[in-house]
Structure 1
Amino acid sequence: MNKRKRPGSAGQKPSGLEDRNRGPRGQGGAHSQPRGPQRGHKGGGDEGFLYGFHAVSAALRNPVRRAQRLLLTRNAEAELASQGLSLGKDLPIQAEILGGDEIAALLPPGAVHQGIALKVTPLPELTVDEACDGASRVVVLDQVTDPHNFGAILRSAAVFGAGALITTDRNSPPLGGVLAKAASGGLEKVRIAKVTNLVRAIDELKDLGFEVIGLDGEGEVSLPEFKTGPKTALVLGAEGAGLRRLTREHCDVLARLPASGEMRSLNVSNAAAVALYELARRA
């Protein structure tokens, strides 16, 4: 296994990752330092509702979810049946047939619900060891706060075979409707562990045999040229700010994505998709 340790430095170098709404280094005024949820806060402002076909159908098929209330329009009922989930036969709960406006009134303003919403219990809280059981690729997020970015990363993780995601308990978004819609079913497919101390979690990953690769715009090696071991943890930093100093210092290696154009950075979710594809390609 090719392992290299990067020496620590007093300051952070640019990560090469940008927020979807901000430039590098979190430029964006009041939005540059969002406040994350407190420990155990999972529902968010949407009262536990997931919405949209991919998010809801994946939750209905997830045995660890308990459905509490299913809302459907008639068109959505027909669409669910076409996916093999028929009312009174395949669904774990009795559905309520409502109009689209009635469903919208129970969701956050602007939620694109596609005529379907499901109120669910939170996902079970997992330890790092439990989340990573059987996984060969893991994603670690260092205070990624935007739910759309977080959800898109979950979707890429599900597509490219990352079995687990580790994130900070504070300064990460609720695992609710907005994130689930962006994840397009990935929230139900990838096991998630929320931790208090990310550095300690990285050490746990190393104890489990994972090689920890931090994605950094100024990493000393190019990810496509770096020979990885059989178990890999990919660490991505916050939108704009990148990896924190202690996180960088605890990675086995810092790797960069090759860039040939005038622009040198990617949105964090796009960078995750490219890096996860590269890791899956060589598996």
Structure 2
Amino acid sequence: MKQEQIYGLHAVEKFLKQSPHLIYQMVFEKGPMNKRQQALQDQAKKLGVTLSFETKAFFNKFEGLHQGVVATVAKQDDLTEADLLEILEKSSNPLFLFLDEVQDPHNLGAILRTADAVGVTAVIIPKHNSVGINPTVRKVASGAAETVKLIVVNNLTRTLKDLQQAGVWMVGLAGETDKTIYQMDFKGAVGLVMGAEGSGLRKLTKETCDYLAAIPMQGSVESLNVSVAAGVALYEAFRQRNL
């Protein structure tokens, strides 16, 4: 089975809690540990995880804040269209998030974290020209990469149409409309469709959506970062769905 490395306390703690049997090894930085690191080490020992210890030089090769812990884990197969349809069948009131070629791992990680917070049913990304789960995404997501279902599809437009036929309404975020997210109905079975950094929604993706909605803005900037925009829109959906 393929392996990957995850790092950072949030990500490793969440993985250890959910899938300890998929962890091959955990590496801690040599030297004094804080309470949280020690608690993680103690829990890993109880669960029979192999532990090792390395100097700071070992950890310097990891991008971002590793917090003195790295886990080597079994890389899981991506969830696919078949899994998405199964999830849809089991969901009475799903909220899906579609990301049209988001390529920055920091953005995907932040979006997954928000998706977890508001209870998104699944996040769907295209197989090509999109960042998938990697160590940076896991670190930024702070554990959400282990809890949010991420579906990788071959053709995003076809998947949008398949879910529309199954009764899911698609709302695309775009600036070229007078309608705002506060005028949309996010109750029921809904898919929120977000575009890529800079370019936004692709033409065919935009045309496939049932509605387009914008985030109202008064300042001088033309648009928000995609992870910020996703947060704003998802929390409006969360507000409506929990009135």
For the residue of structure 1 that corresponds to 2:98, the secondary structure is strand
Distance change >3 Å, CA 65–CA 200, structure 1 → 2: farther
**How far apart, CA to CA, are the structure 2 residues paired with 1:75 and 1:153?**
34
Counterpart in the other structure of 2:138: 180
Q: Once the two structures are aligned, what percentage of the paired residues are identical? A: 34
Contact 1:77 1:87 (8 Å CA) reproduced? no
Contact 2:24 2:50 (8 Å CA) reproduced? no
Contact 2:187 2:240 (8 Å CA) reproduced? no
Distance change >3 Å, CA 83–CA 49, structure 1 → 2: closer
For the residue of structure 1 that corresponds to 2:75, the secondary structure is coil
| TM-score normalised by length of structure 1 | 0.75
Counterpart in the other structure of 2:104: 146
**How far apart, CA to CA, are the structure 1 residues paired with 2:166 and 2:86?**
11
**How far apart, CA to CA, are the structure 2 residues paired with 1:120 and 1:61?**
13
1:203 matches 2:161: yes
- Which of the pair is proportionally richer in helix? 2
For the residue of structure 1 that corresponds to 2:200, the secondary structure is coil
Distance change >3 Å, CA 77–CA 50, structure 1 → 2: farther
Contact 1:138 1:232 (8 Å CA) reproduced? yes
Q: CA deviation at 1:123?
A: 2.9
Amino acid aligned to 1:265: S
Counterpart in the other structure of 1:257: 215
Counterpart in the other structure of 2:170: 212
Q: What are structure 2's unaligned runs of at least 5 residues?
A: none
| TM-score normalised by length of structure 2 | 0.87
Counterpart in the other structure of 1:13: none
Higher relative contact order (CA 8 A, sep 6+): 1
For the residue of structure 1 that corresponds to 2:18, the secondary structure is coil
Counterpart in the other structure of 1:18: none
**How far apart, CA to CA, are the structure 1 residues paired with 2:157 and 2:21?**
30
1:61 matches 2:17: yes
Amino acid aligned to 1:122: K
Q: CA deviation at 1:87?
A: 3.7
Distance change >3 Å, CA 119–CA 219, structure 1 → 2: farther
1:163 matches 2:121: yes
1:245 matches 2:203: yes
For the residue of structure 1 that corresponds to 2:45, the secondary structure is coil
Q: CA deviation at 1:204?
A: 2.2
**How far apart, CA to CA, are the structure 2 residues paired with 1:269 and 1:84?**
33
Of 14, 36, 40, which aligns to 1:79? 36
Q: How many residues are treated as equivalent by the alignment?
A: 234
